[in-house]
Amino acid sequence: MSADPTLASLAADLDAGRTTARQLVDECLARIADPAGEGVRTFIHVDKAAAIAAADAMDHLRKAKAAPSPYAGIPVSIKDLFDIKGQVTRAGSRALEADCTPAEADAPVVARLRRAGFIVIGRTNMTEFAYSGIGINPHYGTPKSVWNRSVGHVPGGSSSGAAVSVADRMAHGALGTDTGGSCRIPAAFNGIVGYKPTQSRVPLDGGVPLSFSLDSFGPLARTVGCCAVLDAVLADEAVQPLQPRPVKGMRLAVPTTIALDDLDEEVATTFERALETLSRQGASIERIEVPEFHDVAVMNSKGGFAAAESYAWHRYLIVSHGDVYDPRVHVRILRGEGISAADYIDILNARRSFIARTEARIAPYDALVLPTTANAPPRIADLADDKAFATQNLRALRNCTLINMLDGCAISLPAHREGEMPVGLMLAAAGGSDRRIFELAAGMENIIRV
């Protein structure tokens, strides 16, 4: 659907000498610096000098036939949640600026990207401390979604800048995080692909936590194949050719419990059209009840893992710097103060039961298929009111959160047609099904938008 380059096409261009790492970096830097673009709101810090130096080094290595991977020299962005050696990790906040020392080492996921030759172009903006699916940041500005920029729609969160950097070709891939949809929601709102891996596959060291029970580190990129490459690098696995599964014979389940409730008209129309297309192509699609999904609201009724675990991490920082927190983030973290040890143990036990029962129910199917978000990207101006913000935030997070609570893996694919409001379609499965999800997604990504 798009002429935008993929990691595969860029690797081929680099190998054939049609472009250089320096050219790619210069083009990305120019887009970031364009005063008519979103660069100033998308990036909290731009690694201009370091990126140029790294690009020149990769070009020399390529000439010497010593490039560390086919992707060496391709610029990627890093969410401001990750440690980068020599830089302060702000996590989209002002609270960490004054007292925190620069990181002594790259986070393992950043180091793995560098080891493959990817070039860090800069640190991307995000919801403060990753605590929202909307993407508004009162400290560093809010990058606009690619949709209808003259009006201004939210980019989705919390990996807001990550998605916009890829959509606007300020980077060719992005490192994000996903605790309740933070890779998938901004991907859906910006018409790209976002992936939440099985949590245990990618190390969480070197990243500011939101919820260590639910956090996952994943990629955002333009295609399924691009995300598969980045995911393999992040997981320290060999990059293997992705074999798309034929749509004919796919066994897909649409959960009718919660996931289809209260959908915006654009979301419902686009989702149903995609299902019809898949069905015509031979996919077996069954609508099933998943009553276990009702358990998620119960587990989250007092704030859940995110409130309890974020409060444990923030409780001293809030005492000293709580006055500079985004009030909408501050109030959500403080919910964790009221969660007792007994409450927390109850949530742990409930989640174990939830995972076991849900995995058994969905085992006969290749994947669940559901809208990534219940809402299309809301207008920024419509969310000035806290109640409106809270409503839209919950609608953005709802479906993705189901999969994080399942400890599953999931991908968001653009399902809209050219010129339509961005809508994401999510494929999800139990933990450990990552390769299958990528194969299924690769098989359908160019079909569902026809």
pLDDT at 1: 32
pTM of the model: 0.98
pLDDT at 2: 40
Task: Provide the residue range defining the domain that includes 144.
Answer: 7-234
Task: Specify the CATH number for the domain of residue 418.
Answer: 3.90.1300.10
Q: Are 105 and 190 within one domain?
A: yes
pLDDT at 158: 98
pLDDT at 3: 72
**Residue ranges, the chain, pLDDT below 50:** 1-2
Q: Are 29 and 162 within one domain?
A: yes
Catalytic residues: 79, 158, 182
In a domain, residue 399? The reply is yes
Q: Are 118 and 41 within one domain?
A: yes
CA 433 from centroid of its chain's CA atoms: 18
Q: Are 288 and 215 within one domain?
A: no
Q: Are 270 and 411 within one domain?
A: yes
Asked if residues 141 and 154 have their Cβ atoms less than 8 Å apart, the reply is no
Q: Are 218 and 301 within one domain?
A: no
In a domain, residue 243? The reply is no
- Domains held by the chain: number: 2
pLDDT at 450: 87
Residue 217: strand pairing partners = 177
pLDDT at 99: 78
Q: Are 276 and 216 within one domain?
A: no
pLDDT at 260: 98
Concatenating the DSSP letter of every residue in 244-303 gives PPPSTT-EEEEE-SSTTTT--HHHHHHHHHHHHHHHHTT-EEEEE--GGGHHHHHHTTT-
Of 369, 193, 408, 410, nearest in space to 284 by CA: 369
H/E run at residue 305: helix 304-321
pLDDT at 209: 98
In a domain, residue 147? The reply is yes
